């Protein structure tokens, strides 16, 4: 009853921003991401007769409190689906630099969903797995698949039609995603809290909802045509729009720091110099720059020259979940 799974993190090109149901993690809008090759989580789950509670070991250290409670709430859903009540030992290794502004929750809950369902003996397809992962962290549902992935928001109140679907495989269109780590230490408003406050209080949120479906459809069309310039302009505009909604929240908040803006300005200058590079930003100050592989080196070098840039990690589209031998972790 042990299983090990590996899942990669993803970066949204059209953002998931706002829930229509917080318990079931149902999003307000369709959204779309690229699964990345460099950053992943490997998780082993083993259910034991003798355990009195779930144990969670992250990067070799026991974790208690809120983080383990989250894991338990998530495993409860899998236990009830399987009709079993055994507790588990969960061991996770994160290859996700939190300093790069990647939430490990996407790869973390995708890997946990895959390992736990397998360990408990549930036979689920990828669509169901995506729905299960979604209930740990919304963006995790997209990490079940590799390459370009959409999360269709669905209409049903029970979430039965809210899951991720692959659009284009990771080998079908190579782009470069440069993850820019900034010299910064500020504490952030977590994405879960930020999107809730925005939905509830920002007058700009209605503008987001009015236009995000068009962004989503245009991005899908650009992907199907491999039209990099079209995709780039949409993804940058969509990220800016998401961040604009936070400024109207009550109390207002902003994920950017001065270093964030320096990188944004550099990307816009690169474009004026003829290099097609575009930025996106999640719920934190770090920036991801998307460009074509032919321009990767030039963009990398330009970013490295900024004094506010600590490091730049270059990613490409990566794979969906995989299972490893039970001896792997």
Out of 4, 5, 8, 25, name the contact with ligand FM0 by CB under 6 A: 25
Span between the terminal Cα atoms of the chain, in Å: 14
* 31 touches ligand FM0 by CB under 6 A: yes
Residue 249 or 329 having the CB closest to ligand FM0: 249
- Span near ligand FM0 by CB under 6 A; candidates 8-16, 198-206, 208-216, 257-265: 8-16
x/- string (CB under 6 A) for ligand FM0, residues 288-307? Answer: --------------------
Residue 178 or 283 having the CB closest to ligand FM0: 283
Please report the DSSP string for 234-254 in residue order.
Answer: HHHHHHHHHHHHHHTSSS---
**Residues in 266-285 at the binding interface with ligand FM0, rule: CB under 6 A:** 282-283
Please report the DSSP string for 141-165 in residue order.
Answer: GGGGS-SEEEEE--S-TTSTT-EEE
Distance CA 25, CA 188 (A): 21
Distance CA 239, CA 175 (A): 18
CA-based angle 18:244:300, to the nearest 5? 100
* 153 touches ligand FM0 by CB under 6 A: no
C-alpha neighbours within 13 Å on the C-beta side of residue 52: 0
* 236 touches ligand FM0 by CB under 6 A: no
- Span near ligand FM0 by CB under 6 A; candidates 10-18, 155-163, 229-237, 311-319: 10-18
* 12 touches ligand FM0 by CB under 6 A: yes
Distance CA 190, CA 218 (A): 29
Please report, as ranges, the residues that interact with ligand FM0 according to CB under 6 A. Answer: 12, 15-16, 25, 31, 103, 105, 137-139, 191-192, 282-283
């Amino acid at each position: 009853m042990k299983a090990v799974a590996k899942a990669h993190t993803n970066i949204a090109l059209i953002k998931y921003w706002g829930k229509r149901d917080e318990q079931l993690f149902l999003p307000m809008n369709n959204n779309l991401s690229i699964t990345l090759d460099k950053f992943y989580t490997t998780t082993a789950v083993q259910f034991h007769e003798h355990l009195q509670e779930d144990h969670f070991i992250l990067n070799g250290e026991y974790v208690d409190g809120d983080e383990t409670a989250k894991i338990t709430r998530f495993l409860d859903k899998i236990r009830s689906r399987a009709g079993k009540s055994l507790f588990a030992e969960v061991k996770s290794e994160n290859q996700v630099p939190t300093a790069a502004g990647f939430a490990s929750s996407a790869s973390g809950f995708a890997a946990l969903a895959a390992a736990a369902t397998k360990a408990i003996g549930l036979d689920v397809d990828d669509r169901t797995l995506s729905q299960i992962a979604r209930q740990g962290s919304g963006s995790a549902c997209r990490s079940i698949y590799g390459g370009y992935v959409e999360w269709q928001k669905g209409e049903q109140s029970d979430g039965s039609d809210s899951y991720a679907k692959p659009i284009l495989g990771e080998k079908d269109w190579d782009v470069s995603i440069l993850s820019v780590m900034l010299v910064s230490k500020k504490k952030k408003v977590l994405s879960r809290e930020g999107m809730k406050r925005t939905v509830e209080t920002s007058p700009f949120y209605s503008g987001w909802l009015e236009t995000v479906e068009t962004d989503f459809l245009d991005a899908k069309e650009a992907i199907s045509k491999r039209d990099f310039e079209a995709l780039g302009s949409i993804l940058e505009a969509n990220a800016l729009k998401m961040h604009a909604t936070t400024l109207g929240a009550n109390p207002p908040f902003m994920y950017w720091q001065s270093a964030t803006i320096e990188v944004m300005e550099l990307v816009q200058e690169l474009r004026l110099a003829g290099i097609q590079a575009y930025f996106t930003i999640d719920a934190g100050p770090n920036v991801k720059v998307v460009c074509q592989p032919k321009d990767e080196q030039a963009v990398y070098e330009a970013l490295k020259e900024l004094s506010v840039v600590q490091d730049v990690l270059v990613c490409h589209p990566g794979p969906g979940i995989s299972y490893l031998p039970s001896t792997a972790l």
